Structure 1
Amino acid sequence: MTSMLILVVTGPEDPTRVALGLLVAKTALAEGHPVTVFLAGDGTDFLRPETRETAHGVGTGSIAEHWAALIDGGARIYASTMSSKVRAIELDHGVESASPDRLVRLIEACDRVVTY
């Protein structure tokens, strides 16, 4: 199966876009694709449970529900170390901190990269 990297750099100002990205990741995972999600920049705001719980996309569903499905389904989830640190965000269970060099390796390793 084709491996996919979903890069989320959009923050809470556009929950529809973020929900769409996570919905695509969740759908790919359900279809058997290896899925990696990388949160960077404003996208790291979704590491905060209160942000996830209140964010819903228009026609693209609940970010919290998509997130739970990704965690439960075994998706690999990374968050930018620098983006998280500058925003004083602690990593959730199941999320690994990663530097830009790790993102470069993930881009090289995955068959498809999509940015939301």
Structure 2
Amino acid sequence: MARILVHITVGPDNPTKAALAFLIAKSIVAEGHQLALFIAGDGVHLLTAQAAASTEGLGTGKLQEHFEALNAAEGTEFYYSGMSAKARNIAPEQVVLRGAQAAMPATLVQLTVACDKVLCY
């Protein structure tokens, strides 16, 4: 199976696209592929419990449900931009994706090179 990177920069101001990004991530895992997820820019707003509970896309589902499925999955890699989170006053303890690690841009570059496919939202 493939190792797929999903890079998310869209925030809660576009709930349909934001939920779609996580729906695709959930689908990657469901299909048996290896998921690497990197959230940056305004996308880090989605990582809080409040955003997860209130974000629902038109035809792309509820963000909270996608997070629950991703948190239950094994073998996933979750990263978020530490710089983006700091600039938006999001502390590590507010991040609701289990095992998500703050990372620098170099991690995104390394993941891009290492993964078979990259999807950006």
Q: Give the TM-score taking structure 2 as reference length.
A: 0.92
Gaps of 5+ in 2: none
Structure 1 residue 94: Cα displacement: 1.6
Aligned to 1:24: 24
Hey, what's the Cα distance between the residues in 1 that align with 2:71 and 2:112?
Answer: 21
Gaps of 5+ in 1: none
**2:118 maps to 1:113:** yes
Aligned to 1:98: 103
Identity between Structure 1 and Structure 2 (%): 41
Report how many residues are paired.
116
**2:57 maps to 1:77:** no
Point out 4+ residue stretches in structure 1 off by more than 6 angstroms: none
- CA RMSD after TM alignment: 0.9
Is contact 1:47–1:90 with CA below 8 Å preserved after alignment? no
Hey, what's the Cα distance between the residues in 2 that align with 1:95 and 1:64?
Answer: 16
Q: Give the TM-score taking structure 1 as reference length.
A: 0.96
Q: Residue type of the partner of 1:103?
A: L
